[in-house]
Amino acid sequence: MFSSIALSVAFTVTFIVTGGYALVGFALLTAEGDRGGDRLVELSHLLMSVAMVAMAWGAGTGGPARTLQIVVFGGFGVWFLRLAVLGRGGSGHGRLPDIDHAVTAAAMVWMVAAMPVIMGMSMTASGGGAGGHAGHGGHGSGGAAGSAMAGMSGMAVPTPAWVVGVTVAFVALLAVGAVFWAVRAWRGGAVSLPEPVRVDDSGRGGTAVAVQPRTAVARSGLAALTGPRLDALSHVLMSAAMAAMLLAML
Amino acid sequence: MTAGVARGGWWWSNLRPLVLRLHFYVGVFVGPFVLVAAITGLLYTITPQLDELVYSDALHTPVGANRLDLRTQVAAAAVAVPDAAVTQIRPPSSEDGTTRVSFDVPGVAVDFARTAFVDPYTGQVRAVLDTYGEWLPVRAWIDALHRNLHLGDVGRIYSELAASWLWVLALSGLAMWVVRRRKRHRVRRALLPEGSATGRVRIRSWHGSVGLWAVIGMLGLSVTGLTWSQFAGPNVSELRAVLDWTTPSISAQLPAASTTTTSQADPADVGVTADIVLAGARAAGMTDPLAITPASEPGEVWQVAQVKRSWPLMQDAMAVDPTTGTVLETVRWQDWPFMAKAAEVGISAHMGILFGVGNQLLLIALALGIICMVIWGHRMWWLRRPTAGGAAPGGMQRPGPESIAVVGLVAIALGLVFPVLGVSLLLFLIGDCLWQQRRRQKARVGIADLNH
């Protein structure tokens, strides 16, 4: 994807870190019954990180993979926008992270959808899922060599000015987001969320609800790898790296 | 009541609740697709017998004294299927067999050919059928039903979904069934159902013991099925190419020095060339059963390849100069990479053609076992459904975060190689997250109402 292998490696390492952190966060929330966090946010971070690693090497840029990313991240964007508008039931500060998530998801959609144009390349036909046919002799050779992960090639075409403008706008928004999270990390990373509620899922007649007070809990195991400040720093890394990748694509 | 947490540091107590939930949710959501694949696959196992029943006249002919040359047979076939290019010729492999001459005919379904079945002794065309490779129409219909429910490429997603998750179901079930708390009569209880048990425990014992017997078969069906799936198939092919596990193929081009002027347009010419090519291949040691594939473009070789897919497989292939009958290149089955051979053998076993009736009976037993397991599994879920007073799978015991993280990492890797598995898992996770958020939101509203 990039002429510099070092750049691809740098992006890969960055998004492996953010993806790993998101995976740990997702695992903790799943194990603890979604208390004190949003699994959908962690899932979106994880998917975004995986997609960015693939993109750094030019994979997943065509065919069904491209369509899937647009649909998934577009859906995330709409969801976070909805949360930003309607709120989560917490304080006003709680909406800013959702606004940032919506912007990041939109940037992801833009990156995937407009990549060929941003990079000034025409898309070639990418391989679909041909598979093999059992009915034909010689099935052992089956499956087309091309796959849905085909990259881009072909003639260079100039990038339209409006595309450059939109890309730069997203870079600016992501930079603002990175600063927002950097400030939050500096201040200790505390995020105002609604009081955690655990729903009794034993299924025995009705839904018993218990409100768990926030108490200081000794953090051990995977939980020791996370925290509000680290959450904020992970967001800084993700926003900054996405902005950098958009710039590198121009 | 606080949520139960996976006990202790022992890895299985950390992992088991996750494995249980995985097996349960995959079984509930993907089980119906596995059921359809098993039922259609069961139907497929009897296609060899159906072929003989329905197409006996096309496949067999009275034995005569002398066989006609291919030139005569192809000419006879061309009269029955006029104005079409010959794509393949299969001489009979038995005394009472017919010669198949396949044609590319506009208007025939994609990947199908129109095939004339010719009496090799008299030149009489006994039948003209639309064939899917070597499959006759009934088998081709059942094959399509199993592959895509006759819904085209969209329908292939169902079978790929089943194949992608079947091995997960098999392995997770195996893990839970084999690693159990009660030690008394462990081996007997693992291999056989508990006759004295009742209700859900009895159903579970049948589900588990049948699953144990069927696990190898399920893994085999899953792995081989994925090799020709729509999305995972190309990834598997790429992996095979990287590891040099691909099936060797013949170079299609004639040497530059070749002076062939064979016309491919006239079936009479094709028939003459077929005789030359067959004679050259036989002189070089090629034996039946075989198929002759004419060159599709000028300057290309003709191919003669063995087409025996039952044990012992015979898949030797030769590239032949159509003008002189000289064998230019030979690829022997014995020289295939081991994994390419294993894939070919596995696929034949999956289709029930590897070792005859025994293979078919084994597949029938496997299909019936899978059908029963899916039904038993859903029966257990029904008996334990929340509205019937049952608890969630795994009860209050929650999986440990470490096991979730490790399984998550594996799932990401698998999801990239097996896209249908990845996308279906993603859809489930998003749905689960949204569902849990909605429940918490409702509970929050409920608390707010109580506080007022």
Query: Which residues on neighbouring strands pair with residue B127, listed in sequence order?
Result: B117
Contacts of A30 in chain B (CB under 8 A): 399, 401, 404
Amino acid at B79: V
CA–CA dist B20, B386 (Å, integer):
17
Neighbouring C-alpha atoms within 13 Å toward the C-beta of B376: 20
CA–CA dist B123, A83 (Å, integer):
76
Give the tokens for residue A180. Answer: 């927002």
Q: Which of B53, B65, B72, B56 minimizes the C-alpha distance to B124?
A: B72
Percent of chain A whose predicted confidence (pLDDT) is above 70 = 71
What confidence tens digit (pLDDT) does each residue in B296-322 have?
Answer: 888 899 999 999 999 999 999 999 999
Angle, alpha carbons B164-B166-B172 (nearest 5°): 115
Buried b (16+ CB within 10 A) or exposed e, A36-66: ebbbbbbbbbbbbbbbbbbbbbbbbbbbbbb
Query: Which residues on neighbouring strands pair with residue B331, listed in sequence order?
Result: B317
What confidence tens digit (pLDDT) does each residue in B232-283 have?
Answer: 999 999 888 999 888 998 887 777 665 555 556 678 889 999 999 999 999 9
Confidence at residue B164, expressed as pLDDT on a 0 to 100 scale: 96
What confidence tens digit (pLDDT) does each residue in B7-60 have?
Answer: 334 678 888 889 999 999 999 999 999 999 999 999 999 999 999 999 999 999
pTM score, two decimals?
A: 0.86
Contacts of A131 in chain B (CB under 8 A): 156, 228-230, 233-234
Give the tokens for residue B397. Answer: 């015991």
Confidence at residue A243, expressed as pLDDT on a 0 to 100 scale: 96
Q: How far is CA B364 from CA A238, B206, B220, B354, B369, in A?
A: 53, 18, 14, 14, 8
Query: Which residues on neighbouring strands pair with residue A210, listed in sequence order?
Result: A198
Query: Assign residue B395 a region: left if phi > 0, alpha if psi is -120 to 50, beta otherwise?
Result: left
Contact A246, A170 (CB under 8 A): yes
| pLDDT tier, A138 (very low <50, low <70, confident <90, very high otherwise) | very low
Cβ distance B447 to A133 less than 8 Å, yes or no, reads: no
Buried b (16+ CB within 10 A) or exposed e, B152-162: eeebbbbbbbb
Candidates B2, B143, B161, B231: best to mutate against A (most CBs of A within 10 A) is: B231
CA–CA dist B283, B265 (Å, integer):
27
Handedness of CA B144, B145, B148, B149 (dihedral sign): positive
Confidence at residue A59, expressed as pLDDT on a 0 to 100 scale: 87
Amino acid at B64: G
Distance of CA B439 to the CA centre of its chain: 41
Summary mean pLDDT of chain B: 90
Give the tokens for residue B22. Answer: 């995985």
Average pLDDT score over residue span A72-79: 96
Residue B181 has pLDDT above 70, yes or no: no
Residue B6 has pLDDT above 50, yes or no: no
Query: Which residues on neighbouring strands pair with residue A148, listed in sequence order?
Result: none
Percent of chain B whose predicted confidence (pLDDT) is above 90 = 72
What confidence tens digit (pLDDT) does each residue in A2-30 have?
Answer: 778 999 999 999 999 999 999 999 999 99
- Collapsing DSSP to helix, strand or coil, B99 comes out as strand
Contacts of A65 in chain B (CB under 8 A): 419
| pLDDT tier, A134 (very low <50, low <70, confident <90, very high otherwise) | very low
Q: How far is CA B301 from CA A25, B126, B250, in A?
A: 60, 30, 9
Average pLDDT score over residue span A211-217: 42
Q: State the nearest Cα–Cα gap between A99 and chain B, in angstroms.
A: 18
Query: Which residues on neighbouring strands pair with residue A43, listed in sequence order?
Result: none
Q: Which residue of B has its CA nearest to A87?
A: B441
| pLDDT tier, B452 (very low <50, low <70, confident <90, very high otherwise) | low
CA–CA dist A116, A121 (Å, integer):
5
Confidence at residue A88, expressed as pLDDT on a 0 to 100 scale: 76
What confidence tens digit (pLDDT) does each residue in B186-241 have?
Answer: 788 888 888 888 888 899 999 999 999 999 999 999 999 999 899 999 999 988 89
What confidence tens digit (pLDDT) does each residue in B134-170 have?
Answer: 999 999 999 999 999 999 999 999 999 999 999 999 9
CA–CA dist B433, A92 (Å, integer):
23
Confidence at residue B395, expressed as pLDDT on a 0 to 100 scale: 61
Confidence at residue A154, expressed as pLDDT on a 0 to 100 scale: 58
Q: How far is CA B70 from CA B41, B159, B256, B290, B325, in A?
A: 37, 40, 28, 14, 15
Contacts of B392 in chain A (CB under 8 A): 201-203
Give the tokens for residue A11. Answer: 């992006």
